[in-house]
Amino acid sequence: MAIAFAINFSYAQNTFPTSGNVGIGTTSPGAALGFQNLDTDAGNSGITWYNPSPLNYGIYKTTGSWTAPNYQQLKLAWATGILLDPGNLYAKSYVEVAGGGLRVTSGNVGIGTTNPAYALDVNGSARFSVNSPDPYNTMQIPLILSNGAGNGGAGTQINFSIGSATSYINSIIDGPNSLTGSALSFGTPSTGSSGTERLRITSKGNVGIGTSTPSAKLQTNYVFTDPFGVSIQGGPSSGTALTIGGSAGDSGASVVSIAPGWNTNASPYALDISPTGVAFGTDTRLLNISFAGSNKMVVMKSGNVGVGTTNPDQKLTVKGTIHSQEVIVDMSVLPDYVFKPAYHLPTLTEVKTYIDKNHHLPEMPSAGQVEKEGLSLGDMNAKLLKKLEELTLYLIEKDKIITDQQKQLTNQKNTDKFQQQEIDELKKQISPKHHKQ
């Protein structure tokens, strides 16, 4: 004989049917296992495996009323750890966190490691990406690093370590808030394990290389023990190695200014390049090189270059001595016309008369004129060559006169010799001995 019992228990707020849903704290469970309605339960309904500390070993809801906006949460707690192992055999063998996301309020999270030393410790490669349905959305931020509320002294740093060598990117806030004194610094490995800062970008947009306090858009601090300060290497033959430009109409602004600290005097710039040529009052200097308060070289807007002078009136104006191995002067006309038959060569008498009156050669500048206006090398060389050619003609003329005189003198000597012979012959004929015979 077989006896079958069908038991259906229902005590107060609990129900344990032989089939259907089981309810704890409710007689109308909506799932295979249902708990008390959240609208009336403000406690920690749930399941526990450890009676002395049930809230440390179980699955339950957090304490509080079921009211907006802070609805209660489901808490999964196990004091000795929780292991999630979805396996890897099937297409959906993974743990998925949907809804509002995943938040870790304490402790470290390890991916690829069983001993995480940081809040997030990843042993392997990581990828951060944003997939937005809007292709024009430019505000996609896959990774945000934050430290504190932005007070002075706070910072966020990313380290790149290989062994004991560490490079880093550090976001610094030195001021009272996130906008004052903040900066972004970059460091490379050095003798210390923490790395050494090499570059900094301030909140004003200034970039410093070798300095943490750049006062310009780009400032580099050169140490004389370094082999190079700033090196700019040329690229393709048609390219430009360095381009520095100023805004149109920046009257008085300097495109490039080099002012070493030891040049503290009335003229601070060792090198100054101005876009409009009015960096010094109303003059037209584009390039100015000075030292110890004294201008050494200027380039004017007109293209005139001055060495030792700030007001060059020619393409190259030098106040001082020029030392050169060779100087080539282009000339279109040389005074070769002096040797043509039609040229009138002044007589030496005319030249002497001019000199006695003017105290310098004809067509040559006077001493006072040279002192006032300077000397043109090309013009002076042409005039000197003309005088040399005239002098050559004078010498040729004098040589002809001397040659003719020499011939006359030779003829006269021959005549005198012949006459002397005749005289001697006559003397012989009238001598006493000849008379006696």
Does residue 172 belong to any structural domain of this protein?
yes
Please give the pLDDT value at position 300: 85
Please give the pLDDT value at position 243: 66
The answer, yes or no, to whether residue 207 has pLDDT greater than 90, is yes
Which of 237, 167, 226 has the alpha carbon at shortest distance from 195? 167
Please tell me which residue, 155 or 176, carries the higher pLDDT value.
Answer: 155
Does residue 350 belong to any structural domain of this protein?
yes
Please give the pLDDT value at position 14: 87
Task: Please indicate, yes or no, whether residues 273 and 194 belong to a single structural domain of this protein.
Answer: no
- Confidence category of residue 364, pLDDT binned at 50, 70, 90: very high
Q: Which residues pair with 122 in a beta bridge?
A: 111
Does residue 377 belong to any structural domain of this protein?
yes
Q: What's the rounded mean pLDDT across residues 211-236?
A: 73
Task: Please indicate, yes or no, whether residues 206 and 287 belong to a single structural domain of this protein.
Answer: no
- Confidence category of residue 406, pLDDT binned at 50, 70, 90: very high
Contacts of 308 (CB under 8 A, 6+ apart): 296, 318, 319, 320
Please give the pLDDT value at position 361: 93
Task: Please indicate, yes or no, whether residues 306 and 354 belong to a single structural domain of this protein.
Answer: no
Say how many C-beta atoms besides its own lie within 10 A of residue 257's C-beta: 16
Q: How many Å apart are CA 300 and CA 276, to the nearest integer?
A: 10
Does residue 130 belong to any structural domain of this protein?
no
Contacts of 234 (CB under 8 A, 6+ apart): 241
pLDDT in tens, 100-129: 888 888 889 999 898 999 888 999 998 887
Task: Please indicate, yes or no, whether residues 203 and 271 belong to a single structural domain of this protein.
Answer: no
Which of 175, 173, 193, 177 has the alpha carbon at shortest distance from 185? 173
CA distances from residue 64 to 61, 70, 141 in whole angstroms, order as listed:
9, 9, 35
Q: What's the rounded mean pLDDT across residues 394-400?
A: 92
Task: Please indicate, yes or no, whether residues 298 and 341 belong to a single structural domain of this protein.
Answer: no
Query: Would you say how long the chain is, in residues?
Result: 437
Task: Please indicate, yes or no, whether residues 355 and 420 belong to a single structural domain of this protein.
Answer: yes
Q: Ranked by mean pLDDT, which of 16-25, 122-131, 256-265 comes out on top?
A: 16-25
* Two structure tokens written together for 346: 């002044």
Does residue 342 belong to any structural domain of this protein?
yes
Q: How many CA atoms lie within 13 A of 417 on its CB side?
A: 6
Q: How many Å apart are CA 357 and CA 63, to the nearest integer?
A: 125
The answer, yes or no, to whether residue 153 has pLDDT greater than 60, is no
Q: What's the rounded mean pLDDT across residues 37-61?
A: 88
Final residue before a domain boundary, out of 173, 198, 220: 220
Q: What's the rounded mean pLDDT across residues 224-241?
A: 64
Kindly list the strands in the beta sheet with 305-307, ordered across the sheet, starting from the edge strand earlier in the chain: 256-258, 271-273, 285-291, 294-300, 305-307, 316-318
The answer, yes or no, to whether residue 149 has pLDDT greater than 50, is yes
Please give the pLDDT value at position 350: 93
Task: Please indicate, yes or no, whether residues 373 and 306 belong to a single structural domain of this protein.
Answer: no
- Confidence category of residue 5, pLDDT binned at 50, 70, 90: very low
What's the gap between Cα 248 and its chain centre? 21
Which of 169, 142, 175 has the alpha carbon at shortest distance from 156? 169
Does residue 422 belong to any structural domain of this protein?
yes
Number of domains in the chain: 3
Note whether 320 and 308 are within 8 A (CB): yes
Please give the pLDDT value at position 10: 53
Final residue before a domain boundary, out of 196, 220, 244: 220
The answer, yes or no, to whether residue 355 has pLDDT greater than 90, is yes
- Confidence category of residue 49, pLDDT binned at 50, 70, 90: very high
Please tell me which residue, 83 or 179, carries the higher pLDDT value.
Answer: 83
SS (H, E, C) the chain: CCCCCCCCEEECCEEECCCCCEEECCCCCCCCEEECCCCCCCCCCEEECCCCCHHHEEEEECCCCCCCCCCCCEEEEECCCCCCCCCCCCCCCCCCCCCCCCCCCCCCEEECCCCCCCCEEECCCCCCCCCCCCCCCCCCCCCCCCCCCCCCCCEEEEEEEECCEEEEEEEEECCCCCCCCEEEEEEECCCCCCCEEEEEEECCCCEEECCCCCCCCEEECCCCCCCCCCCCCCCCCCCCCCCCCCCCCCCCCCCEEECCCCCCCCCCCCEEECCCCECCCCCCEEEEEEECCEEEEEEECCCCEEECCCCCCCCEEECCCCCCCCCCCCCCCCCHHHHCCCCCCCCHHHHHHHHHHHCCCCCCCCHHHHHHHCCCHHHHHHHHHHHHHHHHHHHHHHHHHHHHHHHHHHHHHHHHHHHHHHHHHHHHHCCHHHHHC
| Phi, psi for 396 (deg, rounded to 5) | -60, -45
Q: What's the whole-model pTM score? A: 0.49
Does residue 103 belong to any structural domain of this protein?
no
pLDDT in tens, 272-284: 666 554 444 445 7
Please tell me which residue, 271 or 322, carries the higher pLDDT value.
Answer: 322
Task: Please indicate, yes or no, whether residues 287 and 314 belong to a single structural domain of this protein.
Answer: yes
Which of 46, 49, 44, 19 has the alpha carbon at shortest distance from 35? 46
Please give the pLDDT value at position 116: 92
Poorest-pLDDT segment among 133-147, 164-178, 389-403, 423-437: 133-147
Note whether 311 and 319 are within 8 A (CB): no
- Domain that includes residue 261, residue range: 256-318
| Residue entry with tokens 């500390």 | 53
Final residue before a domain boundary, out of 171, 192, 220: 220
Please give the pLDDT value at position 427: 84
CA distances from residue 59 to 45, 78, 126 in whole angstroms, order as listed:
9, 9, 32
CA distances from residue 222 to 137, 234, 244, 258 in whole angstroms, order as listed:
42, 21, 20, 13
Does residue 394 belong to any structural domain of this protein?
yes
Note whether 27 and 14 are within 8 A (CB): yes
Poorest-pLDDT segment among 10-19, 114-123, 326-335: 10-19
Task: Please indicate, yes or no, whether residues 260 and 295 belong to a single structural domain of this protein.
Answer: yes
